[in-house]
Every structure is written in structure tokens, then in C-alpha cells.
A and B are shown apart, each in its own frame.
Chain A
Amino acid sequence: MSFFGFHYKLERKAIGLVIGIILVASIGGIVEIAPLFTIHQTVEDAPDMRLYTPLELAGRNIYIREGCYACHSQMIRTLRDEVDRYGPYSLAVESKYDHPMLWGSKRTGPDLARVGDKYSDQWQVAHLNNPRDVVPVSVMPAYRWLLTTELRIDDLPLHLKAQRRVGVPYTDEMIENAALDAYGQANPDSPQAEGVAKRYGKATNVRAFDGLPDQLTEMDALVAYLQILGHLTDAANKPVAQAGTVQ
């Protein structure tokens, strides 16, 4: 039977069309997505990869809430000019714990994959508060409410728990202390500050990000997040030959 003859019969059966559509439409996704979970080389190994602290995770959620991803990518492509402008190209492992990923699709503003430590906290705070105070031609909105809004930390243990459920290896201790750690990371002189370094590593930034040591604002969280971008692992700075090595 010719193809068109077959179709002549198929189009008389609604259920035949339904099954046909589902079959034909499933193939592409299965072939392209399923192997990404099974082929080991897809994500490089990076033993030094560290987790977002509760404060950084809260900052990341503010980044999502405000829609920053609509104008800023976090994915440096393997192109010479991008590496020259933004730094080493992004590796898959660097967003391994990003649920969801924030690679972005548009650069109305510059890429932020390696913006961490590129500017001072003061610059970030001033810029977020009103970008045109520091970059006169910027078209970024002013986020003035960040400095005056207190950060909600009481539900952070639940956030870490949900993160663990989707595969981020937070320990029980981290989950238990999530709220205290968020407070401590932005209050270096407080007794809670010590625990942050203990649980998340000595390299963790512990300081009053918003310049207001007695307050924990949303600005603290967002700046803490921005300052860690590109610094979760050192894998991208290593020679290429090592980055793709399979253990």
C-alpha cells in the first residue's frame, strides 16, 4: 500500500492519528535528551565543586524572581571574543547544581557567568540600587527595594531540603542550620559566622555584602550570589585536556 493510501485510512481514525502523533513526536526528544543523563562525559568531573550557601541560594531565588535571566546569560560560549570578554568558556559541571539552569537566551546586559569578584560589593550594591548612578547609559531597571526589604530566612531549611530531593548533596547539618548560616554569612562578627566556613569551606565569602552589618536584606543575598558566580569550581581555569577527563 502506498504511503498516501495508508494515510487515507489513517485519517479516518482519531485514535490512529493520536498514536501516530505521539510516536512521531517522541523520537527527537528521546534521542537527544535521554543520553545526556547516561553519557558520563556530558558533565565533567570537578571534585572541588562546592554548593551554594543558603544565603547564595536565597540570592539566586531573588535573581529568578526579578527576571534577571531575561537580560543576562550565564553561559560563555566557546568563541574567542566571548572568552576574551567574559573569561574561560562555561563548562557543564559549573551549573551541575543549578535547578533550574540560568544559561539565559539574551544579552541585553552582559554575561554574568564569571561576574563574581569582578566588582566590589559596594559597586554591586550601588549598581543594583540604581544602575545609572555608576553606568550612566545603562538600561537596567533600578532595584531600590532590595536594600530596604528584609530577607526571609525562616523557610530556608525547606528550600535546602527540596534541593536535596532533586539531587543537590546538602547534608542534614546544612539543612538544619540553613537559616543561621544565611544570617551568619552576612554578619561576619556574629557567632553564627563561624559555622558557614565550617560547613561550606574556608573560601566562602563571609561579610556584610550590603554594607549594613546589622541588617539582613535581600541585597545581601543577591550580592552574595553574584559574587560567587564563576567560583563554585576551578575546573574552567584548568587546561582543557584535564577538564574532559573521565575518571
Chain B
Amino acid sequence: MSGCWAIFKREVQSTWLTPLAWILLTTFLLIQGGVFYSIVVHMSQVEGGVSGTGPIQAYFGQQSLLMALSLLLLCPALTMRSIAEERRSGSIEALLSAPVTSAAIVVGKYLGSLLTYCLMWLPTLLYFATLRETGTLHLATILSGYVGVFMVGAGYLGIGILMSTLAKSQFVALLLTSTFIFSLFILGIGEYIFDSAALRAVCGYVSLTSTLEETAQGIIDSRRLIFYFSLTIWALFVSGRVMDSWRAPA
């Protein structure tokens, strides 16, 4: 995996040197801040508090539709450039002629976008610092909530890298990733629609909203971890194979 570290560093550096990351960060934090603010204001206005839930659970879980929408915006936008832009500009040639494997390129680019994704979530820790002023925080629940968004984001960024490898234009990569993630989201809704128990189980297994609701309650289900982990590995493996097919005969 030699070269992976160099690609990872350049990916992070280039992302934050262009306006895209800052625009995304601002939009993302405006949405998240708005959601969190409305949750806290709503809960503070209900006399005696809202039973069975708190702002942390609501933020990570019950408002997961809003969370899904922000992930639908963030993940494709973070990965759309990574490989598609290199192909469009021609800089991919210098990269492919270097003594690095396709796996190192794909993993370096993926980890770069994953770090940027994590950095975008970092300021949301302040939300919980403000809650600390008014009550006690259940740190394990916060941690579990973050595990949820990390796990889902990791999977979706993997898909984003794959689509960026397949598409020559970053806009097409953005559309493909959004479509894929949105399809998974729609499939998840099937949990409440289908009659067949088996279909409901499958839909529940991939459901974004159920995943986030569970982790917001402090439940980390290994099946979901396995699903997102295998989704990531599959997407990165296919990306690597696609890249191999560009530069060596089958």
C-alpha cells in the first residue's frame, strides 16, 4: 500500500484548499444547527419534558429523515471529485503512471474523504457542550449516535468513491451516488410497507432511518456494522478493479 499515505494527505489538503469543502461545511452545519435548535426549543417548551426521549436521541434518531437528507447531500458531494475530476483534468495519468497500486489510490482517496466527513461532524460536539449546561449528558448515547453517523457515512462514501471511479464527470458521479443512496433509503422504507416478513427483514437490515434510530438509543447492532463494513469493502474493491482494468490487460 505504498503511496496510500501520500494520496490520503493530498486528498485532504486539496479538499480544504478549494471552496467546495467550506461551502459544504457551512451548509451542513446550518442544517444540523437548525435541526438541533428546533429539537431543543421544542423540548424545552413541552411541560414536564418529552417522555422516553431526550435531545440526543431526537437529534441522532427520531429526526433521522433530516439526517438522511443531509447525508444524501454531504456524502456524494465529498466524493464526487476524488477520481472523476482526476480523469477529467488528465492528472489521473500521472497518478496511474506512479509506482502505486490501484488499491492504494482508492483507499487513500477514500480515507481522505472519510477524514473530511469526520471533520465536518466535529463542530456538532459543541451542541452537546451547550446541553451540559442544563443537565447531565449520557456520553455513551452520544458516542453511539456518532458511531451511527460514522458507520452510515463510511458506507456511503465508499459508494461515492465507486461512482467517482465509474463516471468521468463529477456531476455524473454526484448523481449516481445520490441515486444509489436514495435507493437504499427508499428500500429501507419497505420495512413498513411489505407484507412478506422476509422482505421486511431485508429492508429493515438496510434501512438508514432504523439504523440511526437504533444507534441513537445506544444500540449498536453488529449486523448493521457488518452491512456497512461489507458495503464499503465491496465498493472499494470494485473501484480498485475498475482502475486495474484501465491500466493492465485483463
Mutual binders A and B: no
